[in-house]
Structure 1
């Protein structure tokens, strides 16, 4: 099977509110695609030329534009960006917050199979078109809406608040220590975001003390034990990744392009209570997430010892906490160790979310998988700028993207060839 290489990509500034700017979906797609292609050294003329020989395809990740902007048929909508996409095979992929990971999976597979030589992947979501309550209801459709979302204000903070409850219960944790670890996770992600010029919260204030003051006027509880500081952001944004084949690498005489080394994809029961019921006898609270990581390690021939940096789906601090053991950084129930001793900090031995993650960088749900993939590519390529870890000496990086209440689980490993 052929390798899939990463040429480059781009993300929009996640601080922006595209509706307030008076710009629609065409604007965000055109800006992201143009920047992503430029970064990869590919022009719209190249797209036209490649398409004549059926060598290029486009993959769109988006969760629920039908609700946010009343628009479907999002694969074909790429033709509104440029006539260069006329005739290019393109389709939309959806798996809630893992939507653009599904798009990446499809693109990588087509490259590996030799079907295309260039794949353009774009994930995007425009979320600031509605108020927060309506937005929370829309996002409830990533769960079992009739049973877990309908008529419930902000259902996902409540679901991941339950994950916090279940984590404490399963491992008989000291509640104060666990909640302190969640506050530190929040603090790390906000601090990392200040290094990232595209992060939504780069100008915001957060400290460990603030994050640990839950239930106050400046850090209100939103879902069980979880407060505002524990939550990812409502974000407008897009991220583009350009993949290619070995043949294209050789044609363009491109050197040192990072390569996709492995992936994992597992789906858990849809309902959160079913997840907890099914996992009660497993040492991992989210065994399907752990299995997706193990699948990626197996396919890549790597292990936790080989991974230098991680990007994970911190939709809430409780999800990042569970990811620490899923990666193998600690055993299950011991995640607090890696938080307290600095292992996952920016300068730690296993840094998580140097970009700021979903809490710090932002979470346009359909774009998050592509954004995380772009960031692990940047770390391996030494192109992460001020949030580059380990002085650019990154050989392998791993990302975890989840959809729903850790229902869809996607893992990708990118590294030097």
Structure 2
């Protein structure tokens, strides 16, 4: 069975503690927008997977109750930074498995200011679910007094530079591109443009990554209505429907740890595997894709993902972004929303915000951000620890 996204919605992503709202307020805003975009009422929704990482265990129910008290099943989903795409995947499986005709996928996060920690309470990194990942890093690079996530991705960047000759300017070009794209996005946390030199001159978080190459902590929510082909026909939604042509999740395998490389341990192998499955299942390849929203939690991860998705050969990603192939006028438009670096990164919402952007692009509704003649879109959402979800959308 096929599945379709017929409604999307999101809040503006905000710096934590700057707006007087709670997570259920942002969830209500995003969920209401998605339902209105689809032209349906909440009582038509049969199940609701809800993604969040830092809220209490049944925060999904508390949030969804703002949309209606219909008694439908609500599932609380947590898959680190891949949480939003995981909620979408559950919704798709419910529909394609024939269990439901209409499912709402919702994701939100209310965060605190400052860099993310190592993933465990009380600062005990040894108890973290990603302790094994950080152990690989520490064995090769040591462990410094900088934010752990910036540290492990920064060390991946150093390895890429040493192995392939990637330059700091090429890394900074990712940040400059995505900040430039976000200037046209009213939902983005940041809307300022920077040159490559300004990105390089920003405060260093963990060498070679500067602040303008790192995603911020953010508050926000996003939602998508996923329905069956039968529901589309019954409700006359063909004009709003975007097909989920294929979707796959991969988690860490032995390859992630065997090399002792931060490039592998931050997820390039599982991103490559998820992409391979999606291309195989859909019969489409990266050459068919027009617009991409990928997980640029740090600038280096955008470069690593170019390679994982097959956009270029290993080691060629720095040259690819430098060439202009991943912006307007190039081969693909990558992160037209501004990506995580500039749009923001409320963990539970990120994957669904990517889909919100792509649905707008494929419908031709993205305004100043519109990628020309966009027919196929790809979303890539990754969480350290780990999970990589790749979703292929087709109009």
Please indicate, yes or no, whether the TM-score normalized by the shorter chain is above 0.5.
yes
Instruction: Give deviations 1:165-204, integer Å, cap 9, x for gaps.
Output: 22223xx333xx52111111100000000011111111x3
The answer for the alignment partner of 1:298 in structure 2 is 280
Following superposition of structure 1 onto structure 2, how do residues 211-290 of structure 1 map, counting pairs within 5 Å?
A: 211-213=199-201, 219-256=202-239, 257-268=241-252, 274=257, 276-277=259-260, 286-290=268-272
Instruction: Give deviations 1:130-149, integer Å, cap 9, x for gaps.
Output: x415x435587563289669
Match for residue 333 of structure 1 among 315, 332, 339: 315
Shift of 1:384: 1.5
Match for residue 196 of structure 1 among 176, 181, 185: 185
Does 2:190 correspond to 1:208? no
Instruction: Give deviations 1:112-145, integer Å, cap 9, x for gaps.
Output: 01111111011111113xx415x43558756328
The answer for the alignment partner of 2:33 in structure 1 is 35
Q: Is the 8 A contact 1:292 1:410 kept in 2?
A: yes
Match for residue 80 of structure 1 among 53, 58, 65: 65
Q: Is the 8 A contact 2:293 2:339 kept in 1?
A: yes
Counterpart secondary structure, 1:105: helix
Shift of 1:360: 1.3
Q: Is the 8 A contact 1:125 1:364 kept in 2?
A: yes
| Aligned-partner Cα distance in 2 for 1:189–1:279 | 24
Shift of 1:153: 4.3
Q: Is the 8 A contact 1:192 1:346 kept in 2?
A: no
Instruction: Give deviations 1:293-350, integer Å, cap 9, x for gaps.
Output: 1111111110111111111000000100111111111111111221121100133111
| Aligned-partner Cα distance in 1 for 2:173–2:133 | 35
Q: Is the 8 A contact 1:4 1:245 kept in 2?
A: yes
Q: Structure 1's 409 and 251: CA in aligned 2 closer, same or farther, altered over 3 A?
A: same
Counterpart secondary structure, 1:136: coil
Q: Is the 8 A contact 1:279 1:286 kept in 2?
A: no
Q: Is the 8 A contact 2:118 2:130 kept in 1?
A: no
| Aligned-partner Cα distance in 1 for 2:322–2:22 | 44
The answer for the alignment partner of 1:154 in structure 2 is 147
Q: Structure 1's 155 and 16: CA in aligned 2 closer, same or farther, altered over 3 A?
A: closer
Instruction: Out of 313-322 and 224-233, give the one that drifted further.
Output: 224-233
Counterpart secondary structure, 2:180: helix
Does 2:97 correspond to 1:113? yes
Q: Structure 1's 346 and 143: CA in aligned 2 closer, same or farther, altered over 3 A?
A: farther
Match for residue 64 of structure 1 among 54, 57, 60: 54
Match for residue 173 of structure 1 among 135, 142, 164: 164
| Aligned-partner Cα distance in 2 for 1:328–1:304 | 7
The answer for the alignment partner of 2:376 in structure 1 is 396
Q: Structure 1's 309 and 20: CA in aligned 2 closer, same or farther, altered over 3 A?
A: closer
The RMSD of aligned alpha carbons is 2.6
Q: Is the 8 A contact 1:308 1:395 kept in 2?
A: yes
Q: Is the 8 A contact 1:267 1:288 kept in 2?
A: yes
Match for residue 127 of structure 1 among 107, 111, 114: 111
Instruction: Give the TM-score normalised by structure 1.
Output: 0.85
Q: Structure 1's 153 and 335: CA in aligned 2 closer, same or farther, altered over 3 A?
A: closer
Q: Is the 8 A contact 1:187 1:208 kept in 2?
A: yes
Shift of 1:227: 1.3
Counterpart secondary structure, 1:164: helix
Instruction: Give the TM-score normalised by structure 2.
Output: 0.89
Instruction: Out of 310-319 and 152-161, give the one that drifted further.
Output: 152-161
The answer for the alignment partner of 2:131 in structure 1 is 144
| Aligned-partner Cα distance in 2 for 1:237–1:185 | 23
| Aligned-partner Cα distance in 1 for 2:18–2:254 | 35
Counterpart secondary structure, 1:106: helix
Instruction: In structure 1, list runs of 5 or more residues that go unmatched.
Output: 66-70, 214-218
Following superposition of structure 1 onto structure 2, how do residues 96-111 of structure 1 map, counting pairs within 5 Å?
A: 96-111=80-95
| Aligned-partner Cα distance in 2 for 1:271–1:248 | 42
| Aligned-partner Cα distance in 2 for 1:96–1:322 | 19
The answer for the alignment partner of 2:391 in structure 1 is 412
